[in-house]
Structure 1
């Protein structure tokens, strides 16, 4: 029995060593900086700092990969989170979004921050600078609401304001 357990452990160790050679691609795609959220919406410095520290790693093409992404399978898990996060909201592509989609994204940003769903707990565990204080949460929420108002979104029927087509609505909720 001991010999069998030792063989299993040695096999698992061998697999763990081998998978270290299967690294994730840490290359950030090129993008047009003129389309970036920061360049278009021009947040105040304190909001911009929070967005960069708490949001941009997963929701832009400006990901800074930490050391632990070199350890597999952790790197694969992180890469998947980044892929899903940027698929749902990508600040680097903000200028490519339609007005209605921007409205929907701003509405979701308010909701996610209000409910404490973003940033993810699994992210803040390894990135203490992304842990938001109540003041930071309030600043983000208020600024997102101000942007919606400035862009003329927040006044109408919220249930209809962000719906451009059934296809876009399906795409938006497919990854929730």
Structure 2
């Protein structure tokens, strides 16, 4: 779809332009970008999808189109949640590593709209940190540390995004 809109392409651009690898820092977000899905979205949830506006604001971020990592975790389907309860999202891990981790909920007749969120989880963060190390980059930058899970609500570990980057560098 957009072959040059990814981390590898961006890093290679700067390196080919003469930037020393030690001066290139890879940014890793602790928040997800969200979009409201419309009725034309495919049932699979696989991109590309039809979205008509920014997704709902989270209780902490209070900004449409952005959810912090803990806000995303709270919306994911897991065994501790009762089945059928909304507004849970179905997480999709991408073995091709083309789309990264994302989660979605299709629109339905219940009045709860569809939602798609693209975000980093500890696995993808670890992969990006390992990538930065393999390219001898200057490091990684965690953007925005306050949106990491500083209470340990998602996995029981505090700061899972920061930890995943730290342990792979």
Normalising by the smaller structure, the TM-score range is under 0.3
Compare the two structures and name the one with the higher strand fraction.
2
Q: Which has the larger radius of gyration?
A: 1
TM-score, normalised on structure 1?
Answer: 0.24
Compare the two structures and name the one with the higher helix fraction.
1
